[in-house]
Amino acid sequence: MTATPPPSSPINDFPGGPRLLADVGGTNARFALETAPGQIVAIDVLPCADYPTLAAALLSYLGSPLVAEVIGVEPGSIRHGAIAIANPVIGDMVRMTNHHWAFSIEALRCEVAFDTLLVVNDFTALASALPFLSSEQKRQVGGGAAVPGTPLGLIGAGTGLGVSGLIPGKDGWTALLSEGGHVTFSPANPVEVAILQYAWTEFEHVSAERLMSGAGIELIYRALAKRHGVVAQPLVAADISRRALSGECALCDEVIEVFCCMLGTIASNLVVTLGAQGGIYIGGGIVPKLGDRFHRSGFRNRFEHKGRFFQYLAQVPTWVITAQYPAFVGVSAILSERLASV
C-alpha cells in the first residue's frame, strides 16, 4: 500500500479509473481507492455511528478532500467499487447483525452512480487476500511448511468469530462462504468444561463465537473468576487484555492463555475439516494486538495436540496476519476478477 500523493498530482491510471474499496464492520467503515494494481491510497476510517446509512458514509468519503487529492474534482470518475462487510451477504438486501444499517446493493449502486458495486462477506474478502500477503504482512507461529496446491484456512476473532478458507481449482482459488464461527464449542480439558458449564447458565447454545470473541473474553473471565471463588470485576475485553499484557493481573493472564488455547483447537479443527495443508491464517481484531503474548501462549501446542493426528498437524503452518488493512487486498482481487470477466 502506498501513501496518498500530494494534491498537485492526481492519479487516474487504473483502466476504467480508480476503484473504491471498503471494509465495513459494526464499529467503523474503512474506505480506500485503488489507482493501479496494488496501489491502495486515500485510506480513511469513518465511525459507523456518525452516519445514518452506509450510503451516507460512502458519499461523505467520496466527497472528501482526501479523495479529491487523488482524483481531482471531476464527478463520476469512480465507476467501480467493492465492499467487504461483517455480515452474511445473501441476495440483494443486506441487514447488518451488529449495526442498524440495512440496504439494497442495487439501490446503493445507483445512489453512488457506480457501474459496478460488489458487496461480499468480510471473511470471504480476507480469504481472497491470503495468496497476496507478503512475508512482512504475516508472522508465522510455530513450525510447519505449506504444501502447494492445498486449501488454506482462515479464522479471526473480534466482535465475532469469522471463519473461511480458500479451495484451489484449475482456474484459481474459491473462497468459502462460511459461518463456521457458529459451530458448537467443544472443550478440550476440565477447565474448558467448567467454562462451558458456566456459559450454559447464560446461553442455551454455546457456539465457538460465544468464547472466541471480545464478549467471549469477558465470558471466560467471569467463568474463571467463579471457578477460583473470586468476585469478577466489571471488566471489558480491552481491560482484560491490557491487564494480562502488563502482568498486573494473574486471572486476566489466565483468561488470555485459555482463549489462545481454545483458538488452537478451533484452528486445528478447521485444518482437518478442510485438509488445509496450505496453512491456517489468523486475522480479526484480537490476536494481532496480543503480539508476543500470543506467540508465547499454548496456541501452537494445542493446535498440534490431536492424538493420532499430531504429526499431520505439526506439518501445517500457522500465521498471524499483521497487515493493517488486509480486506482491501481481498476486495481488490474479487473486483478485478469480476471486471475481467465482463
CATH (domain of 232)? 3.40.367.20
- Average pLDDT (40-54) is 96
* Residues constituting the chain: 342
Q: Put residue 291 in one of left, alpha, beta given phi > 0 → left and psi -120 to 50 → alpha.
A: left
- Residue 187 and residue 271 in one domain: yes
Say yes or no to pLDDT of 272 above 80: yes
pTM of the predicted protein model: 0.86
The annotation places the binding site for ATP at 22-27
Report how far apart, in Å, the C-alpha atoms of 244 and of each of 108, 195, 254, 290 are. Answer: 43, 19, 8, 10
Q: Which of 232-236, 249-253, 277-281, 334-338 has the lowest mean pLDDT?
A: 334-338
The reported pLDDT for the residue numbered 2 is 39
Provide mean pLDDT across the span 127-135: 91
Cα(180)–Cα(142) distance, rounded to whole angstroms?
24
* Band of pLDDT at residue 13, cut at 50, 70 and 90: low
pLDDT band at 86, cuts 50/70/90? confident
For residues 116 and 335, is the Cβ–Cβ distance under 8 A?
yes
Q: Mark whether 161 and 237 lie in a shared domain.
A: yes
Band (pLDDT 50/70/90 cuts) for residue 74 is low
Confidence of residue 267 (pLDDT cuts 50, 70, 90): very high
- Average pLDDT of the chain is 92
- With a pLDDT cut of 70, the percent of the chain lying above it is 94
What pLDDT score does 320 carry? 98
Q: 185 pLDDT band (50/70/90 cuts)?
A: very high
CA–CA gap between residue 2 and residue 21 (Å, rounded): 14
Residue type for 246, please?
S
pLDDT in tens, 286-337: 999 999 999 999 999 999 999 999 999 999 999 999 998 899 999 999 999 8
Question: Residue 194 falls within a domain, yes or no?
Answer: yes
Same domain, yes or no: 294 and 197: yes
Domain count, the chain: 2
Q: Are residues 43 and 190 in the same domain?
A: no
Mark whether 122 and 41 lie in a shared domain. yes
Maximum average pLDDT range among 84-93, 159-168, 273-282: 273-282
| 191 and 208 part of one domain | yes
Whether residue 72 is found in the same domain as residue 149: no
The answer to whether 320 and 138 are in contact (CB under 8 A) is: yes
At residue 9, does pLDDT exceed 50? no
Residues 53 and 168 in one domain: no
**Domain that residue 286 falls in:** 134-322
**Who's near 222: CB < 8 A, 6+ residues apart?**
198, 232
Is 9 domain-assigned? no
Average pLDDT over residues 59-75: 85
Q: Residues 154, 257: one domain?
A: yes
Burial class (CB in 10 A: 0-12, 13-18, 19+), 32: buried
Quickly state the pLDDT bin for 208 (edges 50, 70, 90).
very high
pLDDT at 132: 87
Question: Biggest alpha carbon distance in the chain?
Answer: 65
Residue 28 exposed, middle or buried by CB count within 10 Å (0-12, 13-18, 19+): middle
In a domain, 6, yes or no: no
Beta bridge pairs of residue 20: 33, 81
- Report which of residues 342 and 183 the model is more confident about: 183
- Residue ranges of the annotated binding site are 22-27
CATH of the domain at 84: 3.30.420.40
